[in-house]
A and B are shown apart, each in its own frame.
Chain A
Amino acid sequence: MSTVSIPRPSKPWGFNLRQSIPDFVGAVVTILITYASVAYTPLKGKLAFVFVLFISAVIVSAAISAIRRDRKAALNSVSTVMVYVAGIFVIFPLGSILYEIIRRGIGGLSFGMFTTDMAVTASDAPLNEGGLLHAVVGTLYIVVIASLISVPIGLLTALYLTEIKGKAAGTVRFFVQAMSGIPSIVAGLFIYAVWMIALGNQYSAIAGAMALAILMIPTVARTSEEVLKLIPNDLREAGLAMGGTQWRTVAMIVIPAAQSGLITAVILGVARIAGETAPLLLTMGGADALNLNPFNGNSSAIPFYVWKNFLLGTETAINRAWSGILVLMIIVLFFFSLTRFLSGRKGRV
């Protein structure tokens, strides 16, 4: 007796076979056009394939949208294809880089390369002779010394920005931001001008470390500032309300609370400088033999080792360069994952 019909619950936004038939047909048509044009026209090769695929995908999807709806929908599908292509383009180089590093670098990798240096090895000697011990030690030295210099300075800068909040905080923040953009070669030239020309020292690991410290300070300062900002103000106020001085509040409450984030900041800085090459070329001299004294004498680092072997240009030297890059990438990615692990473990700090 009642004629009220209850509509069947449906999900118009969900997957719908009938509506997705045109999309499917469009994809098939696109691929067919691409194959046909690569097979029957002078456009040949992978590049042509990608190019034609892209163009035909844009045209076909626009045509389908225009037929089904209107011009605006056509424009929308053109932009969708373009944005997807941009997304793919971003992933592609990294895949190629990692693949090539492993493919070309794995051959020269051996345990012996971590126990010997290049002091008595000719550039065209077989790969199982010589190694990059001197470079690994050099990288270790410069990373440790650069951290010792830049971590206190970077942390103090961050504390100035978050705890003191002086009148000049805005200016300091602005300069730190700008400092993170200075070219690495300029840092190398600066250390050369101060340490070698003005103070009359020789090439050494410590000179390279000082140049890298300049590049590391802004990274440490900016990341630490972000971390310290996340510490709730309640903690600071509680510390002060308990009668603590600002010094004790910062040292005993704020910094311990931010500890893991601050460690992340330091490692992020290390990851930033571990692969830096240009400043080392001007400050470290690039030795082939192991130099255990970081304060004097030519020394090397992994990027420098790669650079030297690249410039030598013989086949084995190039192989050595790729192995060096593989080692370098393992180190950099190790630090990178460490920061991810540390920052993922404790919320977002």
Chain B
Amino acid sequence: MRGFGINFTTRSPSRNHLSAHFLLGNSSITHVSTAAPTLPPKRVITTKPRFSDKVFRGVVTTGGFSSLVILGLISLFLLYNGLNVFKSEGLKFITGFDWIVPLPEEGLPAQYGIGAMLYGTIVIGLIALFFGFPISVGAALFLSYYAPEWLKKPMVLVIDVMAAIPSIVFGLWGFFVLMPHAEYWAKLIHKYLGFIPIFDMPANAYSRSPFIAGLVLAIMIIPIITSISREIFAQTPLDRIQAAYALGATKWSMIKAVVIPYGRGGVIGGAMLGLGRAIGETVAVYTVLNIVFDIRIEVLLSAGGSVASMIVNKFGEANPDELRALMASGFVLFLVTLLINFLANFIINRTARE
């Protein structure tokens, strides 16, 4: 044992020495092999991008601006195609509510006005918000503060699946499943609240009314408003929530004092995003709404309007002139939804940042 130890201590320095010698020798050889000792050229340190980076940045920047370009092209092409109609109709295109396409042999001037459609779009959008908004905010509160842990994940899944369902599915479901029930609800509303002018019924026609279209749209916008509200509620500072509880607040007074003031902006923004979707919805509204070019305040009556559905409705047998009017309507719809979306995103981003 002892001998081994001595051996070890005597050997290891010699080994170190050997290896050091080897290294030195090695380096001396390389020195010898190059005849004149020259230093490698000094690297030039620069922030100038290489050629490949220039190409990369150029391509990516171009691609990055594509969405702006596409939005610009959309407005340009729709405006260009609808320009004649805007010129001939003037402001009456927005305010008028006659859509008259005379036969060529009649020789009468055509009239295009989407006032009634715009009004109808706003009406069904508001009905959708009236039903969808309280349910969505309530569901978001439920998910954030009331639901037991095991229920949260499945319910978020349900909301995400609902957001993924195509609009034609809502359309057929609304027509075949919801409408028979909704007609009955409409009759009840008319029976008990018929004295209010908007629930009045001049004719016994309850199917395909703005009320039913609004209900279908409400179901379609619930996932959007719920998920945005939930995201905003999740950002409520925990210390303030706990401070409220520590002061003896009930759950509801905590929500009223902390969560709602904090998330108000985001929830309103979410509601506007939902409104934007409701306004632009085409197929689902088409199946459950009877499109009539007339402004009526009775929401239970089978007569309403929607710009998007009207475009599909008229597109099939439109002559070139009418097609231009449809393009103009599309341009108005595009501007309105873009504006609503801008505003909604602005509000949501501002709330989320605070």
Residues of chain A touching chain B, judged by Cβ–Cβ distance below 8 Å, are 47, 72-73, 75-76, 79-80, 82-87, 89-91, 93-94, 96-97, 100-101, 104, 152-153, 155-157, 159-161, 163-164, 166, 168-169, 171-172, 174-187, 189-190, 193-194, 197-198, 214, 217-218, 221, 245-248, 250, 271-272, 274-278, 281-282, 303, 306-307, 310, 318, 321-322, 325, 328-329, 332-333, 336
Contacts and interface: CB of A to CB of B under 8 A. Distances in A.
A81 to B, nearest CB: 10
A182 B64 contact: no
B139 A245 contact: no
A153 B63 contact: yes
A329 B334 CA distance: 28
A86 B134 contact: yes
B205 interface: no
Nearest to A325: B169
Contacts of A166: 61, 64
B311 interface: yes
A176 to B, nearest CB: 5
B19 interface: no
A80 to B, nearest CB: 7
A190 B74 contact: yes
Interface string B35-59: 0000000000000011011011101
Contact of A82 (B49, B138, B164, B251): B138
A304 to B, nearest CB: 9
Interface stretch (B91-99, B239-247, B277-285, B297-305): B277-285
Given A94-B161, A172-B65, A181-B280, A100 B173 contact: yes
B351 to A, nearest CB: 14
A168 B166 contact: no
A172 B326 CA distance: 29
Contact of B64 (A85, A100, A156, A214): A156
A159 B81 contact: no
A282 B326 CA distance: 12
Q: Which 7 A-B pairs have the closest CB atoms?
A: A275-B166, A156-B63, A86-B138, A183-B280, A160-B64, A181-B341, A87-B142
Given A171-B68, A184-B282, 14 more contacts: A90-B158, A159-B63, A177-B345, A183-B280, A184-B280, A186-B337, A193-B77, A247-B50, A250-B56, A276-B166, A278-B167, A278-B283, A303-B166, A328-B169
A310 B251 contact: no
A83 B138 contact: yes
B234 interface: no
Interface residues of B, number: 94
Contacts of B55: 247
A76 B52 CA distance: 64
A181 B273 contact: yes
A42 B168 CA distance: 38
A148 to B, nearest CB: 14
Interface in B297-349: 308, 311-312, 315, 326-327, 330, 333-334, 337-338, 340-342, 344-346, 349
Contacts of B81: 193, 197
Nearest to B254: A76
B217 to A, nearest CB: 12
A276 B281 CA distance: 11
Given A181-B341, A182-B334, A185-B280, A87 B165 contact: no
Contact of B177 (A100, A153, A248, A332): A100
Contacts of A318: 176
Give the dominant DSSP class at A's interface.
helix
Contact of B283 (A91, A159, A160, A307): A307
Nearest to A96: B177
Given A186-B333, A277-B283, A303-B168, A164 B173 contact: no
Nearest to B339: A178
Given A83-B141, A90-B158, A183 B222 contact: no
A179 B283 contact: no
Interface string B141-156: 1110011000000010
Max chain B CB contacts within 10 Å: which of A247, A271, A307? A247
B66 interface: yes
Contact of A245 (B49, B135, B142): B49
A23 to B, nearest CB: 15
Nearest to A250: B56
A89 B135 CA distance: 7
A345 to B, nearest CB: 16
B166 A274 contact: yes
Nearest to A307: B168
B122 interface: no
10 contacts: A75-B253, A87-B146, A93-B219, A153-B63, A160-B65, A172-B64, A185-B308, A198-B77, A214-B74, A221-B67
